[in-house]
Amino acid sequence: MATYFLDTEFNGFGGELISLAMVGEDGRELYLLNIDRRETAVDWVAQNVIPILTSGDADPVCTPLNEIGHKIAAFLARDRWPHIIVDWPDDLKYLCQVLITGPGEMVSIHRFAAEVVRVDSYPTTLPGAVQHNALWDARALRHALTSP
């Protein structure tokens, strides 16, 4: 069972998915930006998330919302039973939403295990980390849970 660390950014409580990132225990990364966003960013998100979507080496793949789940399935395809760790329940909510493609239909993921681990990933000793960027937050979560 391979482990993946997941983080999402979204437009305030219950708002649209902005970005989603997964970082594998093996270092593989997936960083997706939802290009179908229609909501205007709430003030906090406009000030703290939108400006840093491409911070450092975080270069998201711009993806229509209806393709995000397929990109996740392709990313996880090599593992029979991926284990996904998040630090907040909304991350799982957004993951599950993009995996559903229609009534009674979902992307091709046979199974996965999910775990919520309440941990503060910041402050971090991870060089270059940028809080509130989904990729950096997934990296920081991995770092917090795997570093001695």
CATH topology (fold) of 3-146: Nucleotidyltransferase; domain 5 (3.30.420)
Q: Where are the alpha helices (DSSP H) in 7-147?
A: 43-48, 65-76, 89-99, 134-146
The pLDDT of residue 15 is 97
Euclidean distance between CA atoms 130 and 115, whole angstroms: 23
Kindly state the tokens that stand for 91.
């991350």
The pLDDT of residue 1 is 86
Q: Is a pLDDT exceeding 90 seen at residue 129?
A: yes
> Taking a C-beta distance cutoff of 8 angstroms, is the pair 23, 138 a contact?
yes
Residue 42 burial class via C-beta count within 10 angstroms: exposed 0-12, middle 13-18, buried 19 and up: middle
Q: Pairing state of beta strands 17-24 and 113-116?
A: unpaired
Euclidean distance between CA atoms 132 and 56, whole angstroms: 13
Which phi and psi (to 5°) does residue 3 adopt?
A: -105, 140
Q: Give the pLDDT band (50/70/90) at residue 148.
A: confident
pLDDT tens digits, one per residue of 41-79: 999 999 999 999 999 899 999 999 999 999 999 999 999
> Taking a C-beta distance cutoff of 8 angstroms, is the pair 107, 25 a contact?
no
> Taking a C-beta distance cutoff of 8 angstroms, is the pair 72, 102 a contact?
no
